Structure 1
Amino acid sequence: MLLAFDTSTAACTVALFDEGGQCVAHSDETIGRGHAERLVPMIAELLEGRRPDQILVGTGPGSFTGIRVGIAAAHGLAIGWDAKLHGMSSLALLAARADAPGRIAAAMTGGHGELFVQQFEAGLEPAGEIANLRPDAAAQETDAPTVVGSGAAQLVALRGWGEARDAFPSAADALRLPASLRLLAPKPVYARAPDARVREAA
């Protein structure tokens, strides 16, 4: 069985897939903060004693704290279960929520009023790199008719055209991602430097 989860946004999302790739259980909760307290109980409730042999964890970009919580939990569970561990793109997982034909843009609110954005072709193949941009710049850089995510409405309003869909990622879509976006190294993709920096030794 495969366990997938993502904590890159205000949502905490967990899904379980059988050997055939069918989603047999999933849970999506919008919690804002508190991923560290809620993630492991959500996983336990979903598994009901079952033990996955594969884990997929969202690698970001998104909330620095959320990403770190999710990846740390994934590594701990992988060790405890002797499970294979891979990362998956949180923006591609978000784009999967649009379920629209043609090009899709994922737009997630980030720090300092900026947006994390990336465009995807049909089949969720990347149509460009991950970018961390001011909303006006993001509006100029995207041409997808459908924009999904917490930053979608702002981007579409600035652009003056397109359809905005407010949504969070759902782990139930994990196996819809192409292999190139769900066989990533299980380490954070921040897309910008963290605000907090480690003080250098004198």
Structure 2
Amino acid sequence: MQSSGRTLVIETASEACSIALFDGAQLVAQDHRELGRGHAERLVPMIEAFPGKGRADQIMTSLGPGSFTGVRIGIAAARALGVAWGAKVLGYPTLALIAAMARKDAKTDTAPTTICVNGGHGEWFVQSFDSLGTPQGLAASLTPEAAARRDCHRLIAGNRARQFAEMRKEADFITLDILPDASRANLLPQACLARDLSPIYGRAPDAVPQSQRVRPA
């Protein structure tokens, strides 16, 4: 994350509603709450409680994959604040943030990482990253059984990391049970940031838009 001014980070793709305010590289304020639900009601008041009501020159928001509702809430808030403040708005993949956190927590900045987190309908989102934090393929939404058959790295992180490792029945894994934390967005590789705010769903949305529904003949 490179910015000479203030950056507001919004992370709402998981069970956590997490925000942080940076001044350059310095963390000014943070609020991280594991809500499960209720991001829409909590997000704006949390931001308004920050110094200067969170006003920033740049906004970073999670793109998912994760909760469809949570991802949309974060992107909508970032876009609205970007217009109001005249701020640059960037998006980042949620699993890339978890991978960056995992490398730091495991005290090895060069370890390739596999991320496994809650998906929808009992599935898990799974994605691997190389030692530089570059994605190795797209995030996939899989049943636990299908996820356990995928190739993975020794370092596994996310709120389904332990279960993932247990299903593999191998003893040599390092697992970190973590959720994405906005206050650690400074760990993200710069290449992960994008102006395109298209959500990363990882699977088809549960609801089909009216315009895409097949009409009876």
Match of 1:189 among 200, 205, 208: 200
Match of 1:18 among 18, 23, 44: 23
Residue pair 1:68, 1:188 contacting (<8 A) in 2 also: yes
Shift, 1:201, TM fit:
7.0
2:90 and 2:97 map into 1 onto residues whose CA distance is: 14
Shift, 1:184, TM fit:
4.6
Is there any run of 5+ residues in structure 2 with no aligned partner, and where? 1-5
2:132 maps to amino acid: G
2:123 maps to amino acid: E
TM-score by structure 1 length? 0.92
- Residues 104-143 of structure 1: pairs in structure 2 closer than 5 A: 104-143=113-152
Aligned to 1:159: 168
1:122 maps to amino acid: S
- Residues 24-173 of structure 1: pairs in structure 2 closer than 5 A: 24-49=28-53, 51-98=55-102, 99=104, 100=106, 101=108, 102-161=111-170, 162-173=173-184
Structure 1 residue 6 corresponds to structure 2 residue 11:
yes
Secondary structure of the residue aligned to 2:50 is helix
Q: Quote the RMSD (CA, aligned, Å).
A: 1.6
2:54 and 2:34 map into 1 onto residues whose CA distance is: 25
Shift, 1:51, TM fit:
2.1
Secondary structure of the residue aligned to 1:187 is coil
1:3 and 1:29 map into 2 onto residues whose CA distance is: 16
| Consecutive aligned runs of 4 or more in structure 1 exceeding 4 Å deviation | none
Residue pair 2:13, 2:68 contacting (<8 A) in 1 also: yes
1:81 maps to amino acid: W
2:17 maps to amino acid: C
TM-score by structure 2 length? 0.86
For the pair shown, the structure with the greater C-alpha radius of gyration is: 2
Aligned to 2:3: none
